[in-house]
Amino acid sequence: MECEFPTVNSNNKEILEILDSVHVIAIVGLSPDETKTSHRVAKFMQERGYKIVPVYPKEETILGEKVYRSLEEIPFEIDMVDIFRKPKVFGAIADACIKRGDVKVFWGQLELVNNEAAEKARDAGMKVVQNHCPKIELENR
């Protein structure tokens, strides 16, 4: 499998501005397994005062938060969508973000890049971050 290089991405200054401005983060692919990266990142973000919203196909709660099966089910505004899924599904996630109309940031985790979906999100007015981790960015401040 060939990795895609991110051609649509925010710079380091913009990334820090994003992390200072967002409050509600939907985490697509947030695992209930404490050993998984998605769980560790979500817990870190939650401990830093961010409201995390798990999006996962099963479970009722993760990290004390109600789990939603899709972005469409979330009944309140979302500032950022942080994606822990394979890049091939980024297009559908971008479409769901666009349909919602309230998502300000489309974020693909480390080693996760889909430039076509990123362009779609950017063209719809979202800031885009790919191949970065908010936990690492906050730790390296």
**Confidence bin at 7 (pLDDT 50/70/90):** confident
- Residue 80 CA to residue 107 CA, distance in Å, equals 7
| DSSP code of residue 79 | S
Question: Whole-number mean pLDDT of the chain?
Answer: 95
For the question of whether the overall pTM of this predicted structure is more than 0.85, the answer is yes
Say which residue the tokens 């899709």 belong to: 70
Query: Domain range spanning residue 49?
Result: 12-139
Residue 37 inside a domain? The answer is yes
Residue 99 inside a domain? The answer is yes
SS3 74: coil
pLDDT of residue 10: 83
Q: What's the domain count of the chain?
A: 1
Asked if the model's pLDDT at residue 119 lies above 50, the reply is yes
28: CATH:
3.40.50.720
Judge whether 73 and 87 are in contact, CB under 8 Å.
Answer: no
> 111 CB contacts (<8 Å, ≥6 apart)?
3, 131
- Residue 114 CA to residue 121 CA, distance in Å, equals 11
Residue 2 inside a domain? The answer is no
Give me 100's structure tokens: 């919602």
Residue 5 inside a domain? The answer is no
Residue 52 inside a domain? The answer is yes
Residue 6 inside a domain? The answer is no
pLDDT in tens, 71-113: 999 999 999 999 999 999 999 999 999 999 999 999 999 999 9
